[in-house]
Structure 1
Amino acid sequence: MIHVPALTGSPLNKYSMNKIVKIVQEEAEIYKKAKIDGLIVENMWDLPYVNKENSGPHVIAQMTMACQAVNEVLGKERATMSLGIQILAACNQEAIAVAQATGFDMIRVESFVFASVADEGWSEACAGPLLRYRKMIGADNVAIFTDIKKKHSAHAITSDITVGGMAQAAEFFLADGVIVTGEATGSAAEPRDVTEVKEKSRLPVLVGSGITKENVNLYKNCDALIVGSYFKENGQWKNKLDANRVNQFMNFVNTLKR
């Protein structure tokens, strides 16, 4: 994960866009040297999040700049990596537009199937409109990976739907992959949830929170890992990216691959 510093207009913003781009480039360079498999660019620092109706065009413009900055740093290495974007909160059509414009490969989606209540309020299911928008702008090459029973959300209204059942629904509604998380950023996903989703769906399954060097062995049956907090100093997402932690983790994971 590249957690883009708070964008201009966000309550926590303290940098100019030029400084934000520089920080993004520095992190991309660290990941590039560590030979990471892929990156997701996310406006994690735009707390507190708002639904897309209360977002603004400046967010889309600035996230486009951030993604393009990553492309510039990666150079020829771009061809060996998968790049994604998530725009919080639930700005899924906007993310597809940015991905298409910058040549990114995928987006991370909230509330693809079944509505939920997130920190920022009600989050409506979006599969139908989102896939029609992707078709309309000719962005079928942009894959959609969706969280199921996502973190930072209440799921009382879907309590009768298992995580496996939600994965089946995502597959039925043409998602390209599903993401299993814990309850919050940095919280580990339940390995049994990953196993259930693998059994119930033919889609690629990603683990999207709480991955550490110490627990990665618990998720050998998943298809990919999204790592954010662990790569920061002391394993806290708000801290600076720690190149040593990134390199140590990648060295360990590469031994598992072999």
Structure 2
Amino acid sequence: MPPVPIIAALQLPPFDDGKHRSIAWYEDFLLSNARIFAEGGIKAVKIQDETREKGAAAPQTIARMATLGRAFRKEFPDMQLGIIVQAHDAIAPLAIADAADAHFVRLKIFVGAAVNAEGLRDALSVEATRYRGDIVRPDISIYADVHDRTCMPLAPVANETAALWAQSMGADGIIITGTSFADTLSRVRAARAAGVKRPILIGGGATADNVATALDAADAVVVSTSLLRDGAAYDDFNLWDKDKVLRLMEAAQRK
């Protein structure tokens, strides 16, 4: 299934931020904010876990994300759902997506090796594609980041080479995000020129002012920050701004 052109990233408050919130609270937070995106015309939402973990995702993270994904699918059956977890884990996002009947997962450090603020990260591609085969869910798309901007590759591999690696290792879509919007567009063009045939998604930096340009270069964009409500707390039930969503969608349609 090709990516929806506009994918909203809905970041959940961490499960371990000391506030001991119930799963009912997280469900209310999710559905309230997802409704803002739905009413603004967005057709795909990626639920993003922000719980920092050492190693694989904890059982609580997997259980809660699956439960929340099911709640989303019940409330918004016509929207595409994506899953990402903060933990460096090839299996958990796909297991959650299987349980929640999600459409795609986003995996960072899909090929190669990198270091970020949490330490060393190695490629998830082999384990992820093998597990997806084991659970017989080829319909769950894997969108793979290439040199995600939150990390540094451990070897000087060209961005377009890493994109080709990700394509060859089974990614259904390649997520490219540079250090600036101009750098992102340059990386997208280089990936296409190098022979990347899979859909390319821009992983950040999209705004109402540049979304049309972004969609001229790539197949889809992931957007969140530019749609936040001014002054909102990270755990507000209306964290995103419907008017900003509507403006972005209007700009995207002028492409």
Shorter-chain TM-score bucket reads 0.7 to 0.9
Q: Identify the match of residue 155 of structure 2 among 132, 154, 158.
A: 158
Query: What percent identity do the matched residue pairs reach?
Result: 23
Deviations for 1:171-190, whole angstroms, at most 9, x for unmatched residues? Answer: 1112111101134xxx6452
Match of 1:141 in 2: 139
Structure 2 runs not aligned, ≥5 long: 1-8
- The one of 43, 60, 63 aligned to 2:62: 60
Which position in structure 2 is the counterpart of 1:6? 14
In the TM superposition, residue 13 of structure 1 has moved relative to its aligned partner by 4.2
* Distance in 2 (alpha carbons) for counterparts of 1:51 and 1:109: 17
For 2:54 and 2:193, locate their aligned partners in 1 and report how far apart those are by CA, in whole Å: 33
**Partner amino acid for 1:216?**
V
- The residue aligned with 1:167 is 163
Q: Check if 1:178 corresponds to 2:177.
A: no
- Which of 190, 193, 197 in structure 2 is aligned with 1:199? 193
Compute the TM-score of the two structures, normalised by the length of structure 2.
0.88
Contact persistence 1:212–1:230 (CA under 8 A)? yes
State the AA in 1 paired with 2:191: V
Q: Which residue of 1 aligns with 2:6?
A: none
In structure 2, distance between residues paired with 1:198 and 1:235:
39
What amino acid is the match of 1:33? E
Contact 1:86 1:107 survives alignment (8 Å): yes
Conserved in 2, the CA contact under 8 Å of 1:182 and 1:190? yes
| CA positional deviation for 1:84 | 0.8
Q: Return 5+ residue gaps in structure 1 as ranges.
A: none
Residue of structure 1 in register with 2:25 after alignment: 19
Aligned amino acid, residue 133 of structure 1: Y
Query: Larger helix proportion, structure 1 or 2?
Result: 1
Deviations 1:121-164, CA, capped at 9 Å, x for gaps = 11111211111111111111111110001021012x221x1111
Per-residue deviation, 1:100: 1.0
Aligned length: 241
Over 3 Å counting, the alpha-carbon distance change for 1:237 and 1:90 in structure 2 is farther
SS at 2:110 equivalent: coil
Question: Where do 1:32-51 residues align within 5 Å?
Answer: 32-44=38-50, 46=51, 49-51=52-54
- Once the 2 structures are TM-superposed, how far is the Cα of residue 228 of structure 1 from its aligned partner? 0.9
What is the CA distance between 1:214 and its match in structure 2? 1.6
Which residue number corresponds to residue 83 of structure 1? 81
Structure 1 pair 235–118 and aligned structure 2 pair: CA distance change class (3 A): farther
**Counterpart contact for 1:229–1:237, Cα < 8 Å:** no
Question: What is the Cα-based RMSD across aligned positions, in Å?
Answer: 2.0
Deviant stretches of 4+, over 6 Å: none
How far apart in 1 are the matches of 2:53 and 2:203? 21
